[in-house]
Chain A
Amino acid sequence: DQQVKQNSPSLSVQEGRISILNCDYTNSMFDYFLWYKKYPAEGPTFLISISSIKDKNEDGRFTVFLNKSAKHLSLHIVPSQPGDSAVYFCAAHTGTASKLTFGTGTRLQVTL
């Protein structure tokens, strides 16, 4: 039972353009969402998060949008840079458990 879904396994974007990575969830108890970035042979690195009481959080080139009614969140990267090429994981958390539930990841490739 995949409670967090990233339906696009890969995405290719030109440098300078916007990258949009999507994530859907099924558990309405999730109240906090995070995006992690992962390079090969390294652990995931925290990127940005959003609480369920907000619908947008911005940090530099990265913005996360949350649509609770649709149980959907997205990560926008603008402008995209070659160094952004990595696998991006969406993760969710409930207030009653400390563990994170992860999606299967989206591989982003930013081309020159």
Chain B
Amino acid sequence: GAGVSQSPSNKVTEKGKDVELRCDPISGHTALYWYRQSLGQGLEFLIYFQGNSAPDKSGLPSDRFSAERTGGSVSTLTIQRTQQEDSAVYLCASSLGWGEQPQHFGDGTRLSIL
């Protein structure tokens, strides 16, 4: 498709399990971002990838969170040993390059931790 694609759209898992969320950015976009939106909150920055540069991980809330971007395209966000406070909508966005706006968002993955 032409837009940012995220999968799964919904994920329900038990506390303590690991989860992987996937993002496929718009073709040709070198910048990729992960945000999350907790209930009643705005979007919170998590991590940013630009080409082959080291990612900006400054928004990751704990070391249980990690992300990688393979081949400069698809990205996976991994949450280990999930906690109930990890429940949120995880949104991926891409843009043409560093500092380029706007960022284009996928529809997100709604993560629920039981």
Contacts and interface: CB of A to CB of B under 8 A. Distances in A.
Contact of A103 (B42, B95, B102): B42
Interface string B47-67: 010100000100100000000
Contact of A32 (B101, B106, B107): B101
Interface stretch (A11-19, A38-46, A65-73): A38-46
A100 B50 contact: no
Nearest to A42: B107
A97 B91 contact: no
Given A43-B108, A46-B104, A98 B98 contact: yes
A4 B42 contact: yes
B99 interface: yes
A interface, size bucket: 20 to 34
A93 B48 CA distance: 14
Contacts of B44: 102
Nearest to A94: B99
Interface string B90-105: 0101010011111111
Nearest to A91: B43
Nearest to B43: A102
Nearest to A51: B101
B11 to A, nearest CB: 14
B22 to A, nearest CB: 15
Nearest to A32: B101
A89 interface: yes
Nearest to B104: A46
B88 to A, nearest CB: 13
Interface of B: 4, 31, 33, 35, 40-45, 48, 50, 56, 59, 91, 93, 95, 98-108
17 contacts: A4-B42, A36-B102, A43-B93, A46-B102, A46-B103, A89-B42, A91-B43, A95-B99, A98-B95, A98-B98, A98-B100, A99-B33, A99-B45, A100-B33, A100-B43, A102-B35, A102-B43
